[in-house]
């Protein structure tokens, strides 16, 4: 009897690209530099709505994170995750060199 496994019951996750630890560390370092950049833009701690820097809800957390040393942020998962989250949230204010996820350029068919 030829038994076949049903894909409905046996789902194997597709192999996705996993960045190397050095790529992840570089992204966290870029994210922390981005948080520092945003903190410099947000000198008024979101007291005035000027569309630069952090929002009022992220201002205190962002400024505290910007004061942390970069090595501490890289070593602690929670600080690294927060840096990446803030850098992604405020990506429109960042220069291209500080983007955590650089835009993917697609090939054009000619």
Mean pLDDT by runs of 10 across the 110 residues of the chain is 56 62 90 95 82 89 95 95 95 92 65
* Mean pLDDT (the chain, rounded): 83
Tally of domains within the chain: 1
CA 65 to CA 99: how far, in whole Å?
A: 17
CA 47 to CA 31: how far, in whole Å?
A: 24
Task: Look at residue 74 and tell me if it is in a domain.
Answer: yes
The pLDDT of residue 18 is 66
Domain that holds residue 38: 21-96
Task: Look at residue 83 and tell me if it is in a domain.
Answer: yes
Contacts of 65 (CB under 8 A, 6+ apart): 32, 35, 73, 79, 82, 83, 86
Task: Look at residue 43 and tell me if it is in a domain.
Answer: yes
The pLDDT of residue 17 is 61
The pLDDT of residue 20 is 76
Task: Look at residue 11 and tell me if it is in a domain.
Answer: no
The pLDDT of residue 40 is 94
Write down the pTM of the prediction.
Answer: 0.74
> Using one digit for the tens of pLDDT, what is the confidence trace for 48-80?
778 788 999 999 999 999 999 999 999 999 999
The pLDDT of residue 21 is 79
């Amino acid at each position: 009897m030829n038994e076949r496994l049903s894909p409905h019951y046996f789902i194997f996750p597709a192999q996705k690209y996993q960045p190397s630890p050095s790529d992840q560390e570089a992204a966290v370092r870029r994210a922390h530099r981005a948080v520092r950049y945003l903190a410099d833009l947000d000198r008024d701690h979101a007291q005035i709505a000027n569309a630069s820097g952090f929002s009022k809800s992220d201002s205190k957390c962002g400024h505290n994170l910007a004061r942390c040393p970069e090595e501490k942020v890289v070593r602690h998962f929670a600080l690294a995750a927060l840096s990446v989250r803030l850098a992604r949230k405020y990506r429109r204010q960042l220069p291209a060199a500080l983007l955590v996820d650089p835009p993917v350029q697609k090939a054009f068919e000619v």
